[in-house]
Amino acid sequence: MSGITVITGVATDNVVVSSVAVFIDGAAYGLASGTASWTFSFNTAALTNSSHIITARAVDISGNAALAAVTVVVNNPGISAPVITSALTSTGTIGTALSYQITAVNSPVSFSAAGLPAGLSVNTVTGLISGTPATIGTSSVAISAANSSGTGSASLALSVYSACDLNQDGSTNVVDVQLQVNQALGATACTSDLNRDGLCNVIDVQRGVNAGLGGPCVVGP
């Protein structure tokens, strides 16, 4: 048997049958629906693929009980190994808390991550990578999720930048300094191609800031 299974039975007595309880491998599993003619349904996915003993215990209104048992074989189709579904790139800032959740399909029961930057660790039960990165650079992290059928793996590119590398290009220079100035002035997004080069970027933002401060160089390459 496999999946949702319904078992049925009949309980007879010289007085009224008050209840029928079902046990699987000796453990109480629940009460059946009905008494003299009863049914009980359960999901075999909760059981291992092997033989199991299902026992019905009928009790009448006088407290007398009788048992009947049957042996069944559960053979549910196996699930596939997990497949990683979370994004394979992530970024963070040195000295600032970072978190990344490993996700996967096919009911993973454990997770791992190898090659994490200093300051980060993985919860092998939940798959959450967290901590405060202590080194700058890009790490190739081998992430995986596993279940009884196998392991699914992927490579996560995890980049940690300096707090001053605002544009996250791997270097700290005058552009990052200017971005900080722009943020302080409330100018963070380009709204017009002021230097008419066909692009709308940080240069145009800066020209807008200059104009707001009364600077003469607003347009032109």
Q: What was the pLDDT predicted at 164?
A: 67
pLDDT band at 10 (very low <50, low <70, confident <90, very high): very high
- Out of 73, 105, 133, a domain closes at 73
Inside any domain, residue 78: no
Inside any domain, residue 15: yes
Inside any domain, residue 30: yes
Residue with tokens 């940080």: 202
Q: Find the domain containing 127 and state its range.
A: 83-161
Number of domains observed in the structure of the chain? 3
Give the separation between CA 158 and CA 137, rounded to whole angstroms.
Answer: 8
Inside any domain, residue 69: yes
What six digits make up the tokens of 81?
A: 């190994």
- Out of 22, 48, 73, a domain closes at 73
Is 154 found in the same domain as 91?
yes
Q: What was the pLDDT predicted at 165?
A: 65
Is 153 found in the same domain as 121?
yes
Inside any domain, residue 104: yes
pLDDT tens by residue, 16-41: 999 999 999 999 989 999 988 999 99
DSSP E strands in 63-215: the ranges are 65-73, 83-84, 89-93, 98-101, 104-105, 110-114, 120-122, 128-131, 137-147, 150-161
Q: What was the pLDDT predicted at 220?
A: 46
Residue type, 77: P
**Model confidence, pTM:** 0.51
Over the chain, what is the mean pLDDT?
Answer: 83
Is 22 found in the same domain as 63?
yes
Q: What was the pLDDT predicted at 138?
A: 93
